[in-house]
């Protein structure tokens, strides 16, 4: 108990004086589809007017939502009323991908991606429906994802870096900085229905990419924004007690250290997946608000959905995200603390540098204590309620290696398990569970290929890293040559089948796939020959 009090006191002394009050969203009039349309929104989603639940929240009202709602209430009982016709009369459908863009059969996959950057770039404009205006150009993932996404954008930036598009990287970093300064954090995406949650905190890594292009001192321009981003993730830490150990995204561990979890402030169905959430809650036997919170917290993780969040390791209805201390999230926050330390060194603030150095060390020690399973020799998520690791293997285990948090012995154990269980014909598989969820086997995802490859390279496991890179580039290229597309995710275990799972069809575009592919080719120039094979497009 004495140690608990000491560590918590140390945290309060170091962090509390620097906490920032989060500012409200921009003064502009924002449109919140679920709240502003009430029963109309509910009926459009429940009656599945559109096959994809995300379509209606992205529609643009053609007049004041209050007037549209009034018209709905007046007309809904009239003979011959058709809900879809009413919606089409009062809303503009979201922008669809430009059908004039077609794959040139003579282009290699790299040439195709270079063309796609322009296709996926959006220019700043007026607020349109639920879309939040951004001041600079940005790259969207593609398909149904018509807005910027937080963690996607880091991996997109890796490709923009390989393409020499530094100013577009700068624009995207400045957009995220704008969101931090005006909203108080970086939301899941620039939609109003995403404001109550964030995504894996990759902002500090984006700043590193920009610094690689423009010099280390550029970090100083973003120290206030990163400080504010950190305050968002650590909000409420000063109020944690043994009796009440969790608040929003912070959790007080038994030894007094503080680690983080994913969260969402709004325990309601997600507007973009409204019917799916309502039906899940209804059939789960759980308190609806509880399951909505855990669903939304998983959406904040980016891994929506994966058995790593499930109490029984099988079924979505047992989701318990808010009970989980994710190993990858805390590794990212460790890197954020180190970046804040470096910013303080650059500015000559020695006291500030010591503060963040201590916070980073405390977090590293806590991750190694709570997320490492010595019996299995592997990193897992930790359930702070059951006080045990979840023992569900996933590629989240590579994050401590990516950030050089572990010693050689632990890194070797993780690398051995990755080699034995995760490396697949098409890259590295996300988990070892075949659940039907998209963030499980047999699927592989570009961001996790990058994190795993770099994690292995950091500790000298270059053969394993090169195998994953080669298999992934080959799979991406093969699918492109037969379909003319780059996908959001891939089946890395059975190369003859597409990726599956999720709440929507596999999307093409695709921002982070494009980015990681180009970056891997720049890292492994010998893979260029794979991408230059003769295309065999099948239309």
Which one is catalytic: 235, 328, 464, 488? Answer: 488
Structure-token match 């989980």, residue found:
324
Q: Which helix (H) or strand (E) holds 334?
A: helix 327-347
Parallel, antiparallel or unpaired: strands 250-252 and 258-260: antiparallel
- Write the DSSP symbol of residue 96: P
CB-based contacts of 258: which residues, under 8 Å, 6+ apart? 8, 11, 234, 237, 240, 250, 251, 252, 362, 363, 366
Bridge partners of 491, per DSSP, are: 443
Are 335 and 359 in contact by the 8 Å Cβ rule? The answer is no
Which one is catalytic: 58, 304, 328, 342? Answer: 304
Q: Which two tokens stand for residue 267?
A: 């325990």
Cα 176 from Cα 166, distance rounded (Å): 16
Cα 390 from Cα 384, distance rounded (Å): 10
Q: Which two tokens stand for residue 487?
A: 């996908």
- 3-state secondary structure (DSSP) of residue 143: coil
Structure-token match 């007017």, residue found:
49
CB-based contacts of 275: which residues, under 8 Å, 6+ apart? 45, 46, 48, 53
304 annotated active-site = yes
Are 250 and 235 in contact by the 8 Å Cβ rule? The answer is yes
What is the chain's percent helix, strand, coil content, to nearest 5?
55, 10, 35
User: Quick one: which of 125, 148, 127, 54 has its CA closest to 93?
Assistant: 54
Q: Which two tokens stand for residue 344?
A: 């303080």
381 annotated active-site = no
Burial track 252-261 (b if 16+ CB lie within 10 A, e otherwise): bbeebbbbbb
Determine the distance from the C-alpha atom of residue 158 to the mean position of all C-alpha atoms in its chain, rounded to a whole number: 15
CB-based contacts of 463: which residues, under 8 Å, 6+ apart? none
Q: Which residues are catalytic?
A: 304, 488
């Amino acid at each position: 108990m004495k140690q608990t009090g000491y560590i918590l006191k140390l945290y309060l002394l170091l962090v509390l004086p620097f906490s920032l009050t989060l500012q409200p969203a921009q003064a502009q009039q924002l449109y919140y589809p679920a709240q502003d349309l009430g029963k109309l929104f509910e009926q459009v989603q429940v009656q599945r007017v559109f096959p994809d639940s995300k379509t209606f929240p992205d529609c643009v009202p053609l007049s004041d939502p209050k007037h549209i709602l009034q018209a709905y209430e007046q007309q809904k009982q009239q003979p011959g009323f058709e809900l879809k016709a009413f919606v089409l009369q009062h809303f503009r459908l979201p922008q669809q991908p430009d059908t004039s863009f077609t794959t040139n059969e003579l282009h290699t996959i790299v040439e195709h991606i270079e063309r796609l950057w322009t296709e996926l770039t959006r220019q700043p404009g007026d607020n349109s429906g639920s879309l939040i205006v951004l001041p600079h150009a940005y790259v969207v993932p593609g398909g149904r994802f018509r807005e910027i996404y937080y963690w996607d954008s880091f991996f997109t930036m890796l490709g923009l870096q390989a393409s020499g598009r530094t100013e577009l990287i700068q624009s995207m970093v400045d957009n995220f900085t704008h969101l931090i300064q005006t909203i108080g954090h970086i939301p899941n995406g620039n939609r109003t229905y995403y404001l109550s949650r964030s995504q894996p905190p990759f902002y500090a890594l984006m700043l590193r990419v920009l610094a690689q292009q423009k010099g280390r001192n550029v970090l100083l321009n973003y120290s206030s924004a990163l400080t504010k981003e950190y305050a968002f993730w650590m909000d409420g830490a000063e109020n944690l007690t043994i009796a009440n150990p969790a608040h929003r995204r912070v959790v007080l561990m038994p030894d007094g250290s503080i680690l983080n979890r994913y969260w969402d402030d709004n325990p309601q169905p997600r507007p973009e997946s409204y019917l799916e959430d309502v039906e899940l809650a209804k059939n789960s036997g759980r308190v609806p608000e509880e399951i909505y919170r855990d669903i939304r917290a998983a959406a904040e993780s980016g891994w929506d959905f994966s058995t790593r969040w499930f109490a029984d390791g099988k079924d979505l209805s047992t989701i318990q995200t808010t009970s989980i201390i994710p190993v990858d999230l805390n590794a990212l926050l460790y890197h954020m603390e180190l970046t804040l330390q470096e910013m303080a060194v650059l500015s000559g603030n020695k006291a500030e540098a010591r503060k963040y150095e201590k916070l980073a060390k405390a977090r590293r020690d806590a991750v190694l204590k709570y997320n490492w399973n010595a019996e299995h020799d592997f990193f897992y998520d930790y359930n702070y309620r059951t006080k045990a690791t979840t023992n569900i293997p996933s590629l989240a285990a590579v994050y401590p290696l990516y950030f050089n948090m572990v010693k050689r012995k632990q890194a070797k154990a993780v690398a051995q398990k990755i080699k034995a269980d995760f490396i697949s014909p098409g890259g590295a598989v996300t988990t070892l569970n075949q659940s039907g969820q998209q963030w499980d086997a047999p699927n592989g995802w570009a961001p996790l290929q990058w994190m795993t490859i770099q994690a292995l390279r950091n500790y000298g496991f270059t053969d394993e890293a090169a195998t994953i890179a080669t298999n992934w580039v080959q799979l991406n290229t093969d699918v492109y040559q037969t379909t003319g597309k780059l996908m959001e995710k891939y089946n890395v275990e059975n190369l003859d089948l597409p990726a599956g799972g999720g709440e929507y069809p596999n999307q093409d575009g695709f921002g982070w796939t494009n980015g990681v592919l180009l970056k891997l080719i720049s890292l492994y120039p010998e893979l260029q020959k794979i991408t230059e094979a003769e295309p065999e497009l099948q239309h």
